[in-house]
Structures are given as structure tokens and as C-alpha cells.
Chain A
């Protein structure tokens, strides 16, 4: 029948269409890496660019100076461009460190409470609230940290600089909280009931069960949450651009203003000369961010998948 044949043709056509959209996802992740890396490539190949921007310049070379801060300098637009990424790396690590220090314990504790002690109704309130927190655009968190949080912290602790690693890190931590909470909570909820029942049957209290049985069983999920949060923290831009103080200083002090790798791209790419050493250096930073987050995300997702498989095995 002609009608039937037409139906088969449509079906075959749709199969090809859907399969090709699936393939496009792979193509784009590949393209993202390719095009970011392509613009960074002169750092390795172009002798003109390599005069100012090369790996040794980025990570090793130091200017002869007495203070650490003067030895490693990021001043890409000065007469004699100085492109040491040490200040930027330090900025990224300082803010990430504070953010994780704040968000990890709070996020996991909140998840543990929600999964083990909260009533059903309370959980129904908490989850959407966390989702709303996750839905706050990072530019708004940056604005909040810059205008409100910084002033509060300043009047409470009397910092030398209003914008510093504490302020930026805390704001970043707020962005990480929902990630850590959600993934840990999923992991805790996936722990089979039998674990809890066995523990209680042996006379353990609910708290003991939660801390000594459920939490250890969900450790991979919690670890995955930390890894994924780390990836987000490394790549987060707007919060750090606004709340970090925008000063590329090679300082270990948490009291100093900072500039992260990501914020450097955001702050400088707008005015950069196309194809210059500075331009290649910024794309190199992009490639670096891509690589770090790619690795941490792969690791986090791998742990989650492993854990899910194991928990399903245990429950059966």
C-alpha cells in the first residue's frame, strides 16, 4: 500500500534525523575544545607570540625582585608585557579554597538533615528553596557580594581591603551550596533502607545511624559533589569578576584583593588586540579552564555512576 510505504519512509527519515541530532552533541563538545585551543595554539607555535607568551613565561619565569609579589606579575598590556599566571592561579585557588571550606560542610550537613531527620513536608519546602538558590544568576550573587556582603564583612571584621578572598569565596560558596546539597542528598537517599534498619536493630540511635552508617555509605556521592563543586568554582566568572577586587597580585594572603583566571578573561578579552600574544594567552587560560573542569566533571560523574550501580546492586 502506498500509504503504508509513506509511513515507513517518514519513520526511516525521523530515525536518521534523531540520530544525527544525537551526534551533533558530540561534535559541539569537540568543537568547543578545538576552537578554544586553536586560538591558544600560537602560544606553542608562533615565535612572535612566544616572545611574550609561552609556558615558561606563564608558570615558571620570575622577574629579579626582592618581593614575591614583584617577581610574578600579570601586566599583559604594559610596554614590556609581563604574563605570569602565578597571581591568577593564586587568586583562583584562594577563592575556591574559601568557597569549598564554607559550602562543603554546610551543604553536606543540610543534605544529611534533609534526608535523615526532616519530615516529608519539610523536605518538600527545602528542595524547591535550594533550587531557587541555584536559580539565582551569578551576576546577581556578584552584585550582592560587591554591594552588600562586602560592606557587612567590612564592618564586622575591619579588613584592610573591602574586597578580598573571604568576600569573594563566601559569595562563590553560595553558588556551590545547591550543587553540594543536591548531589549529596541524592546519594544519601540512595542508601538502601536495609542499612538503616540493620543499624537501628543493633541499638544505634538515629543520629548514630546517620553519622556512622548512612553517611559513610554515601561517601562516594559526597566526594563527587565536592569534585563537581570544585569544577564549578574554578570556572565561575561573574561572581569573582565583581567581588574579587580585580587585582592580579601574587599574594598568599586572604586579606588581599584577587583576580582569578576566569575573571581575567572576562575583564580583558573585550579590549585585546586580535591575534596578539595577549589574545593567545587569554585563550590559553580558557583551554586551561576547559581542561580542569573537563577532568573534574568526568571524575565526578564517573563516581556518581559507579555509586548508582553499586547501590542498585545492594538494594536488589
Chain B
């Protein structure tokens, strides 16, 4: 698409401009290379120094000798349990919220809905129009709440988990279910950490699900409704099956983000070291990310821990990337099927 250039006697200004142009493009291209380079370097360093640590013993043994030997088995199990619990809470809830936002609220914004209502003076069916105004308003509030939830710092989620789930909900449960003085729920544990993380991943799931629902053509819904199906039947039989890959992608991306977060679980249940595996949702747990923090900042013997540290990071990165990659692959395959972006 280049503009025709004069073949001979290019004026000096034009030539210097061409040079400047090329320099600029080079600079922009360099930024991309830098970005890719950073990823390659981080992955490279972790892979080179970490992959060698992976062995059967490392993956199936608990830490030994004050974290300077042994493996990371409890941390793997703890992370898996945490992620599973978090998924059970976050995904159904997130999908339901997205379905509400996209299927149960009017497409127009509250302002437009209000305009229609105001213009309908003296006509029949004004109540329905007014209900649309309320519904559109609620949807706007929910959307901005979700957008803001996505921006709340993860450490604040940790504070919230401690203040709400443990001190408030947990203590209340103890008062009702346990003999006086006994503390079962009112302390850091698997369930509260999972709930905190679920809250953190919720926005990712909601946004991705809504995007997936948007790809289902409205005609399909209308056809289903015209055939006499109720709205719920339309959602269950038509909309959800069609948007399943997109929902899956969102769920996986959300879960992989949650799997690597450490700040929210610092005070809600992650343990420095546990000789046993968690058996109950009220047990504390070890976690790969938290283990990385502990090994890199509180090791009694830095040289002895370093190989273990690289091994742990390798496993953690492997886990999140595997999840991420699955999500991205599912999405790009669906996109290819639907054609274009």
C-alpha cells in the first residue's frame, strides 16, 4: 500500500524522512522483540535451572531438613485441592452472573430505556418499559462492580478474606456449631483461601462468559422462543451449548490466574510447612506459590535451597502455563471455526 515514490532525484527531505520512518519502525519493532525476549529469558532461566530438579522423589516427597532437601509433594496436593475448591465456587457463580447480565437484562443502556419510558406517556405497557429501566440500571451497576472487583489489589482480597471469611463467618460458625472455646472454622484454612481466591477469579470468568454468550446469534434465541421454549429452556438447550468453548476458556484462564496468586492466601490458610496433607476443608495447606516465597526469602541455607526453589518455580509455571495454553488453544480453535476474530 505504499505511495508511489519518484524514481529519480528524491529530494533530500524525502530521503531523510524515509530514513526517519525506517528508524521509527525499527524502534517499535524492537519493543515487541523486547517483550518477547523478556518472556523467553524468564522461561529459559527457569527451564534450564529448574527442569533438572524434577524427579520422582521431588514430586512425591515432603520437604526435609528444614526445607533444604526432599520434595514438594504437599505443596502440589495443597495447590490442587485449593484450585479445585476455588473452581467449584467461582465457575458456576461466574457463569450465572454472566448469564444474568447477558440474557436477562435489556440490551439498551438505562438512559435509552428511560427515554423510551418517558416517551410512552399514556400508552399501554408502560409498566414493562419501566421494569426495563430498572433492569438496565441494575445491569450497569453490576457490570461496573465486576470491573472494579477485577481491579482490587490481591493483597486487599487477602485482608478481606481474613476480616470477612475468617473473623466474621468462621467465628460465627464456630459459635453455632462448636463447643465454647473450640476453634475449627475461625482460622486460616483451605475453604477460606479458596473462597477468597474464587472472589478474585470471578471477574475473569464473568467477562469471558459474557463475551462467549455474545457470539451466539440472537436469531437462534428468537427461533427457540418462537417455537414456544421458555427463556430458561432456550438458555439451557441453545445458548449454553453454543457458547461452551468460550465459557471453558474463561474458566480456565480465571483458574490459572487464581492458581498462581499468593497474596490472598498469605493470611487465609497457606502454611509454611506441614508434615501431613490436608484432610478436611478446615485444614491448613501448603501451596506452590507460597513455597516459592518461603524458599526465596526465609531459607536457612540459601545454597542448599536454590535448586529446590528453581524446581518449585518450574512446577508452578508448568501448571499455570498448561492451564493457560489449554484455554488459549480452545479459544483459537473456536475462533477459527467461527472465522475471523
Contacts and interface: CB of A to CB of B under 8 A. Distances in A.
Interface string B131-145: 000000011011011
B148 A144 contact: no
Contacts of B231: 11, 14-15
A269 interface: yes
Contacts of A293: 151-153, 156
A269 B162 contact: yes
B51 interface: no
A131 B324 contact: yes
B262 A110 contact: no
Contacts of A146: 296-297
B28 to A, nearest CB: 4
Given A139-B293, A293-B152, A181 B163 contact: no
Contacts of B163: 35-36, 38-39, 283
B36 to A, nearest CB: 6
A241 B290 CA distance: 12
Contacts of A147: 296, 306, 309
Interface in B149-185: 149-160, 162-164, 168
Interface stretch (A45-53, A55-63, A200-208, A250-258): A200-208
B281 interface: no
A290 B317 CA distance: 29
Contacts of A19: 100, 104
Contacts of B147: 297, 301
Given A7-B233, A205-B21, A289-B153, A242 B324 contact: no
Given A129-B36, A293-B152, A32 B160 contact: yes
Interface stretch (B53-61, B116-124, B215-223, B253-261): B253-261
Nearest to B34: A106
B156 A235 contact: yes
B153 to A, nearest CB: 2
Given A18-B99, A18-B100, A177 B35 contact: yes
B266 interface: yes
A101 interface: no
Contacts of B20: 207
Interface string A92-117: 00000000000001110110111001
Contacts of A112: 28
Contacts of A297: 147-148, 150-151
Given A113-B29, A262-B153, A265-B155, A133 B35 contact: yes
Interface in A217-264: 228, 231-232, 234-238, 241-242, 262
SS class, residues of chain A in contact with chain B: helix
B235 to A, nearest CB: 8
Given A25-B145, A133-B39, A137-B262, A143 B232 contact: no
A15 B100 CA distance: 8
B96 interface: yes
Contacts of A282: 159
A290 B3 CA distance: 51
B292 A140 contact: yes
B320 A200 contact: no
B31 A290 contact: no
Given A28-B149, A109-B28, A113-B25, A286 B156 contact: yes
Interface in B265-298: 266-267, 289-290, 292-293, 296-297
A157 to B, nearest CB: 18
A77 interface: no
Contacts of A241: 293, 297
Interface in B224-263: 230-233, 235, 253, 256-257, 259-263
A105 B24 CA distance: 13
A155 to B, nearest CB: 15
Closest 6 CB pairs of A and B: A235-B153, A137-B260, A297-B151, A109-B31, A113-B28, A11-B230
Interface of A: 7-8, 10-11, 14-15, 17-19, 21-26, 28-29, 31-32, 35-36, 38-39, 105-107, 109-110, 112-114, 117-118, 126, 128-133, 135-144, 146-148, 174, 177, 181, 200, 203-208, 211, 228, 231-232, 234-238, 241-242, 262, 265-266, 269-270, 282-283, 286, 289-290, 293-294, 296-298, 301
24 contacts: A15-B232, A21-B93, A25-B97, A25-B149, A28-B149, A112-B28, A113-B32, A118-B32, A135-B257, A135-B260, A136-B39, A138-B263, A139-B260, A207-B21, A208-B21, A235-B155, A237-B154, A241-B293, A241-B297, A262-B153, A282-B159, A289-B156, A294-B151, A296-B151
